[in-house]
Amino acid sequence: METQLFRIVNIAGRAAIELDGGYHDLGRLTSDESLSDPMAWMTRTAELHGLAEQCVGRAADGQIAAVRLDAPIPTPRQVFAIGLNYADHAAESGMDLPPAPLTFTKFPSCIVGPNADVPLTGDLVDWEVEVVVVIGARCKDVAASQAWDVVAGLTLGQDVSDRGVQFTGSPPQFSLGKSFSAFGPIGPALVSVDSFADRDDIAISCAVNGEQMQSSSTAHLIFDISTLVAYLSSICELFPGDLIFTGTPDGVGIGRGRFLVEGDLLESEAEGIGSLRNRFVAGTGVMAL
Ligand code: ZN
């Protein structure tokens, strides 16, 4: 029998399976409340294929279009992000290709849902569309050949970046410049790995006010997802729900001399995952020193 693919969404703090525009609350579906914890289900992906199958023909608990989606992984323990992982983006940034994954963190407090407003922090706020890996098992020293076994699924993210803070001083402040509140929209769903015809070739793009800014594919990653999981797990223990922002292709604002302003709508898309819609609103910046 063919395995039912699954998409997991977070509705008001409860995990649900998305199917054909409807959602099925995991706690109601299984009578196992622990599964509705949006930070708990990802260790049980083996069951989720079967549960998604149970949703076929079942009356949905509600329609996705009628609810506000939260981040599918709302409180990750660790959030890794990879810089300069596409050659064309490294070139537009005027930087050499890194010899190993250039890794920083987006502190987990920046993670928000797929349609969250993002407060501006200054005049140099920029977009970076990225595929985001969600870890599904506690692991260490995972071989690249086994790496997909510890991946719960993939989602889409924006690595929103304040270039002013990011490039304050030397060495620069990647982690802080990318961790302001709401600088990490993810979603709209966590998608099972087997949803993709080629899990290493996922088209991603983003547009500002309808004008396309970035368009590429994870096929162009310098360090692919298997390599990232293996490399990071050779250093850090990984935990269920950990996120890896895999890097952004060319077309960011700093390469165009254009940054986000109040009222801008940033729309991001990934093949097989869906889209993020984030409006940029007035906010406050970093304290003056
Ligand atoms: Zn990035």
The owner of tokens 């409006």 is 279
Average pLDDT value for residue range 129-138: 98
Model confidence at 1, in pLDDT bands (50, 70, 90)?
Answer: very low
Domain boundaries, the chain: 7-67, 79-281
CB atoms within 10 A of CB 210: 7
Rounded mean pLDDT of the chain? 96
Distance 178 CA to ligand 1 centre (A): 8
How far apart are the C-alpha atoms of 228 and 221, rounded to whole Å? 10
Distance 223 CA to ligand 1 centre (A): 14
Distance 66 CA to ligand 1 centre (A): 31
Residue 134: closest CA among 60, 41, 203? 41
Hey, is 18 helix, strand or coil?
A: strand
How far apart are the C-alpha atoms of 256 and 115, rounded to whole Å? 25
Element (DSSP H or E) covering residue 281: strand 274-281
This prediction has a pTM of 0.97
Distance 68 CA to ligand 1 centre (A): 25
Model confidence at 137, in pLDDT bands (50, 70, 90)?
Answer: very high
pLDDT at 3: 67
Average pLDDT value for residue range 64-89: 97
Q: Does residue 99 have a cis peptide bond before it, meaning omega lies within 30 degrees of 0?
A: no
Distance 49 CA to ligand 1 centre (A): 31
Distance 32 CA to ligand 1 centre (A): 37
Specify the CATH number for 79-281; select among 3.90.850.10, 2.40.110.10, 3.40.50.720, 3.40.47.10: 3.90.850.10
Distance 244 CA to ligand 1 centre (A): 10
